[in-house]
């Protein structure tokens, strides 16, 4: 199929770190309470992270990512465009 006449979709929505945590959690059909049980992080802290009231932080990112079985970068860098941004 010739795709040359299609226009590449543009990114129209940016999400925060907290929103990325919520999205991944919801995709895995976990409640905040269930994630709290799996991670050992209080549900109130998970809520505060998802709502942007506190920062995720490196250590919590590792713990939550392990509980959600994703790489921490999925949570910490939700809008990263590797083609446009250098890690250097």
Structure tokens at 42: 């209080």
Q: What's the mean per-residue pLDDT of the chain?
A: 88
Question: Which residues form the domain of 41?
Answer: 17-76
Residue 8 located in a structural domain = no
Residue 11 located in a structural domain = no
Residue 62 located in a structural domain = yes
What CATH number does residue 49 fall under? 1.10.260.40
Q: Is the dihedral of CA 48, 53, 58, 59 positive or negative?
A: negative
Q: Has residue 8 got a pLDDT over 70?
A: yes
More confident residue, 24 or 87: 24
Residue 3 located in a structural domain = no
Task: Please report the pLDDT score of residue 47 as a whole number.
Answer: 98
Does the model's pTM come out above 0.85? no
Nearest 10 degrees: Cα torsion 23, 47, 36, 62:
60
Residue 7 located in a structural domain = no
Residue 5 located in a structural domain = no
Residue 42 located in a structural domain = yes
Residue 47 located in a structural domain = yes
- The domain tally of the chain equals 1
């Amino acid at each position: 199929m010739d795709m040359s006449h299609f226009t590449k979709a543009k990114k129209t929505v940016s999400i925060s770190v907290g929103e990325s945590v919520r999205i991944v959690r919801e995709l895995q059909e976990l409640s905040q309470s269930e994630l709290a049980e799996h991670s050992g992080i209080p549900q109130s802290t998970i809520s505060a992270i998802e709502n942007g009231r506190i920062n995720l932080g490196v250590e919590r990112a590792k713990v939550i990512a392990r509980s959600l079985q994703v790489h921490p970068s999925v949570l910490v860098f939700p809008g990263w465009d590797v083609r446009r941004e250098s890690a250097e």
